[in-house]
Amino acid sequence: MKGIFLKGSIIGAIITIPSLVAFFVAWFVTGDKYVSLIVGVVVHFIGMGFTLKLSKKLFKVKQD
């Protein structure tokens, strides 16, 4: 049970942290919330695509 929690937390961090960092950096650089929102959403979906491939490797079903 601990392994699933750890793997899920890692995947959640990989999805969330880059999108938040991209949002705040874009907001600091441009000063526009809407442009920052678009940048954050794009980075978020790129991260989701990356973690889809990663989750398939991490949560591989063991067949007996």
pLDDT digits over 18-33, tens only?
A: 999 999 999 999 999 9
The answer to whether residue 64 is domain-embedded is no
- 53 band by pLDDT with thresholds 50, 70 and 90: confident
| Predicted pLDDT at 62 | 67
Residues of the domain holding 40: 2-55
* Sequence-distant (≥ 6) Cβ neighbours of residue 26 within 8 angstroms: 35, 36, 39, 40
The answer to whether residue 38 is domain-embedded is yes
The tally of domains found in the chain comes to 1
The answer to whether residue 62 is domain-embedded is no
Percent of the chain with pLDDT over 70: 92
pTM: 0.76
The answer to whether residue 20 is domain-embedded is yes
The answer to whether residue 40 is domain-embedded is yes
The answer to whether residue 60 is domain-embedded is no
Residue given tokens 């880059």 in the structure block: 18
Going from the C-alpha of 39 to that of each of 23, 34, 64, the distances in angstroms are 6, 9, 44
The answer to whether residue 39 is domain-embedded is yes
d(CA 52, CA 43): 14
